[in-house]
Amino acid sequence: MTKLLETRDLHVYYGQNEALKGIDLSFDEGGITALIGPSGSSKSTYLRTLNRMNDLIPNVTITGEITFRDQDIYAPQTDLVTLRKEIGMVFQQPNPFPFSIYDNVAFGLKLAGEKNREYLDQVVETSLKQAAVWDEVKDHLHESALSLSGGQQQRVCIARVLAVSPQIILLDEPTSALDPISSSQIESTLLKLRTDYTIITVTHNLQQASRISDRTAFFMNGEVIEVDDTKKIFMNPARKETEDYISGRFG
Amino acid sequence: MRRLFDEELDELDNGFTEMGILVSNVVQQSVDAFINHDRQSAQAIIDNDHKINEREINLESKSFEIIALYQPVTSDLREVVTILKAVSDLERAGDHARNIAHATIEVKGNTRVAEIETQLAEMGHLTTDMVKQAIQAYVDKDEEAAKALVTVNDQLIEYRDRIMRASYNEIATDADVLVAAMNYNNVAADLVRIADYLTNVGEWIVYLKTGQIIELKLMK
C-alpha cells in the first residue's frame, strides 16, 4: 500500500548547519502521530518541511524526498496554495486574522473564489462543529475572532484549516500557550478528527502525546531515534535514549 | 541526571526490600518455631503479623502517591507496578507464616510423629531458602534468578503429598495423632502456598526487567 505522505533521507540545512540528518518517516491515512524530542531536536523543522513552510526562511537547503500521494512536493510544478490546502497547519500561538469568526473560517474558500453564500455558511458551520467550538461561537459569528479566549481562538484556527478540506493537519505545539481546560478541549477535538484526517503534531507535553497519539516519533539532534506505536514507546521503548527522554532523565 | 523522582523510587524500593526481609525472617521463624515446638516464638509471630500488613498499606499508599504526582512511564512505571503487585504477594506469604505459628500452638501437647516432623523440617528449610533467594533476586533485579525460583515448587509439592499420605496413614493406625497430623497437612500446604507467592514475586521481577507478564509455572 502506498503511503499518504513519506519522507526519504530528508536533510535540511540552515546555512552550514545540518538541522535534519536524513529522516525516513511515512504516514498512512488517519490517526495521530506525535513528534516529540528535546528543544533543538528539529522536530518543528521537520513538521514545517512537510508543507514547505521552510521555503520562507533564507539560506535553507533541503535534500532528499518528500512525497504526498506519490507526488514530489518540492517539484517545480507544485502549487504551494494547493499543497497548503491539502496539508494545513496550526501554530503554537493562536493566530486568527483580525476579522470576524465567520470570515476567518471562510477565508480559504473565499481566497479560492468561492462566492456561494449558502455553501460558505454550511462549511463554516460544519468546520466549527468539527473543531468543537460551534456551540460557543454560533451566536457571535460576526464578532471579531480576537475577542475569543485563547482556547477558542485555537479551535477557530483548526476550523479554518478544516474548511478547505485538507488531507493532513500539521500542528506545532498547538496547546502549549493554552490552559489545561482549553488544552483538553483541543485534545478531544483532535481525537474526533483522527478518523477523517491524518494528524501530525509536535508537542513538548509527553502526557498529551501518550493520551492522544497512535504513533510517536522521538527526535534527537536532527535524527529520528525511534518511531513506534505510542503504547510501545511509553511502556517499553527499544532505545535507551527514548527511555531516558520519556522518563525525564534528560531534555 | 538525578531526578527528584529517583529519590522517591529509592525510598519505595528500600521499603519493599525491608518488607521482603521481614517476611523472609517471619517465614524462617515460623518454620523454626514449628520444628522446635516453640510456642512462645509462635505467639510472637501472631502478635507481630499486623506489622507486615501495615507495611503493605504504607507501600501501596506510597505507590499511589508516586503514580499520581510523578506519572511515571517506561521502566519507572514498571518498578512502581512491580512493587504494588508484589507487595500483596509478600503480605499473603506472611499470612501463611502466621498460619504455621497457629499450627505450632495447636500441636503443642498432642501426640506427635517424629518422622513426619523431620520431613516438614526439610520442607521448611527448602521454603525459607527459596524465600531468601526471591528477595535477593529482587534486590539484584536478577531476571534469571527470578525465573529459577519456580524449580523448587515441584520438590515442595512432592514433600506435601508425601507428608499428607504419611499423616493419613498415622491417623488410621493411631487416632491420638489426629490433631498433630491435621496440622502437619496444613503446614505443608502453607509452605507450598508461601513458595507460590514468592514465585509470583519472581514473575513481577521478570516484568520489571522485560515488560513481559509471564506465568513461570506454565513455562517449565
Residue B96: count of CB within 10 angstroms of its CB: 25
CB A111 within 8 A of CB A163: no
B186 SS3 class: helix
- Residue A199 in any domain: the answer is yes
The cell for A10 is: 530528508
**DSSP label of A194:** T
Boundaries of domain holding B82: 4-219
CB B33 within 8 A of CB B101: yes
**DSSP label of A188:** H
Q: Residue B220: what pLDDT?
A: 66
Asked if B73 lies within 8 A of A236 by C-beta distance, the reply is: no
Contacts of A234 in chain B (CB under 8 A): 73-74
Q: Is B169 exposed, middle or buried (0-12, 13-18, 19+ CB in 10 A)?
A: middle
Residue B89: count of CB within 10 angstroms of its CB: 22
Distance in angstroms (rounded) separating the CA atoms of residues A210 and A181: 17
The cell for A74 is: 518540492
Asked if A247 lies within 8 A of B211 by C-beta distance, the reply is: no
- Residue A251 in any domain: the answer is no
pLDDT band at B120 (very low <50, low <70, confident <90, very high): very high
Beta strand A5-14 pairing with A17-27: antiparallel
Where residue B212 falls (left for φ over 0; alpha for ψ -120 to 50; beta otherwise) is beta
- Residue A39 in any domain: the answer is yes
> What CATH number is attached to the domain comprising B75?
1.20.58.220
Q: Residue A55: what pLDDT?
A: 86
Closest Cβ–Cβ partner in A236, A247, A248 for B211: A236
Asked if B73 lies within 8 A of A234 by C-beta distance, the reply is: yes
Q: What percent of chain B has pLDDT over 90?
A: 94
Q: Which among B177, B151, B181 is positioned nearest to B163, based on CA atoms? A: B181
Q: Which among A48, A141, A43, A38 is positioned nearest to A89, based on CA atoms? A: A48
The cell for A106 is: 471562510
Q: List, for residues B44-83, the tens digit of each pLDDT value.
A: 999 999 999 999 999 999 999 999 999 999 999 999 999 9
Distance in angstroms (rounded) separating the CA atoms of residues A41 and A53: 18
The answer, yes or no, to whether ipTM is higher than 0.85 is: no
How far is the alpha carbon of B21 from chain A, nearest alpha carbon, in Å? Answer: 29
How far is the alpha carbon of B211 from chain A, nearest alpha carbon, in Å? Answer: 7
Asked if B1 lies within 8 A of A234 by C-beta distance, the reply is: no
Q: Which of A210, A234, A247 to mutate to test the interface with B (most CBs of B within 10 A)?
A: A247
Nearest CA in chain B to A242: B74
How far is the alpha carbon of B208 from chain A, nearest alpha carbon, in Å? Answer: 10
Q: Residue B217: what pLDDT?
A: 85
Asked if A235 lies within 8 A of B211 by C-beta distance, the reply is: yes
Rounded to the nearest 10 degrees, the angle between the axes of helix B39-70 and helix B4-36 is 160
Q: List, for residues A113-139, the tens digit of each pLDDT value.
A: 999 999 999 999 999 999 999 999 999
Q: Residue B219: what pLDDT?
A: 79
The cell for A16 is: 552550514
The cell for A216 is: 510517536
> What CATH number is attached to the domain comprising A195?
3.40.50.300
Q: List, for residues B138-157, the tens digit of each pLDDT value.
A: 999 999 999 999 999 999 99
Rounded to the nearest 10 degrees, the angle between the axes of helix A150-162 and helix A101-111 is 20
Contacts of B75 in chain A (CB under 8 A): 243, 247
How far is the alpha carbon of B77 from chain A, nearest alpha carbon, in Å? Answer: 8
**DSSP label of A178:** S
User: Which residue numbers of B have CB closer than 8 Å to A's CBs?
Assistant: 1, 3, 5, 71-78, 211
The cell for A76 is: 517545480
Boundaries of domain holding A200: 5-246
Asked if B74 lies within 8 A of A248 by C-beta distance, the reply is: no
Residue B24: count of CB within 10 angstroms of its CB: 24
Asked if B76 lies within 8 A of A247 by C-beta distance, the reply is: yes
Q: Residue A251: what pLDDT?
A: 56
Strand extents, DSSP E, chain B: none
Q: φ and ψ at A65, to 5 degrees?
A: -135, 135
Where residue A37 falls (left for φ over 0; alpha for ψ -120 to 50; beta otherwise) is left
Number of domains in chain B: 1
How far is the alpha carbon of A237 from chain B, nearest alpha carbon, in Å? Answer: 7
For A174-202, b/e burial (b = at least 16 CB within 10 A) is bbebbeeebbebbbebbeebbeebbbbbb
For chain A, the farthest-separated pair of C-alpha atoms sits apart, in whole angstroms, at: 56
**DSSP label of A175:** T
Contacts of A250 in chain B (CB under 8 A): 1
Q: How far is CA B33 from CA A35, A139, B96, B107, B155, in A?
A: 61, 81, 14, 12, 22
Asked if A247 lies within 8 A of B1 by C-beta distance, the reply is: no
pLDDT band at B4 (very low <50, low <70, confident <90, very high): confident
Asked if A237 lies within 8 A of B74 by C-beta distance, the reply is: yes
Residues of chain A with pLDDT under 50: none
Q: Per DSSP, what are the bridge partners of residue A224? A: A219
Number of domains in chain A: 1
- Residue A233 in any domain: the answer is yes
Q: Per DSSP, what are the bridge partners of residue A168? A: A87, A198
- Residue A212 in any domain: the answer is yes
Distance in angstroms (rounded) separating the CA atoms of residues B90 and B27: 11
Q: Residue A109: what pLDDT?
A: 94
